[in-house]
Amino acid sequence: MLVRTVPVTAFQQNARILIDTESATAVIVDPGGDVAELLSALALGLPGGRSLTVSAVALTHAHLDHAGGVAQLLKALAQQGARPELLGHRADKPLRESIERQAVMFGLSAAEFQNAPEPD
């Protein structure tokens, strides 16, 4: 297993990319934002040039700094191939539905952060 840590957003929250080096699959945990940086980290692939397939995006919880980039990331990954599964807890629904408001509360642009969809 390989773990890549990508600090994202003004909060510098650590998004993690958990990589199974045998199957070349990855799970992205808490993609709070800065989706372009996350996609760049994925594009690094594995040593030897093997590319990665993202099987899931997982949320530990749905605060802005952990879930603010989910919608944009899922859209970008779906354009590259199959949309990965979104994992999260149903109880976080109010937080997932208020990400844009959370951004405004912190003086951030709501255009950069989107409400997260329901988990699969």
* Best CA proximity match to 93, nearest among 54, 113, 67, 112: 67
Residues 69-86, mean pLDDT to the nearest whole number: 95
Q: What is the pLDDT of residue 111?
A: 86
Average pLDDT over residues 37-48: 94
Which pLDDT score is estimated for 17?
98
Question: Both tokens of residue 97?
Answer: 């539905």
> For 31-35, 44-48, 70-74, which range has the lowest pLDDT when averaged over its residues?
44-48
Provide the pLDDT confidence category of residue 6 given band limits of 50, 70 and 90. Answer: very high
The one-character DSSP state at 112 is: T
pLDDT the model gives residue 78: 96
Mean pLDDT (the chain, rounded)? 95
Helices (H), ranges, 15-84: 35-43, 64-67, 70-80
Quote the pTM value: 0.94
Confidence category of residue 97, pLDDT binned at 50, 70, 90: very high
Where residue 115 falls among pLDDT bands split at 50, 70, 90? very high
Q: Is the pLDDT of residue 81 over 90?
A: no
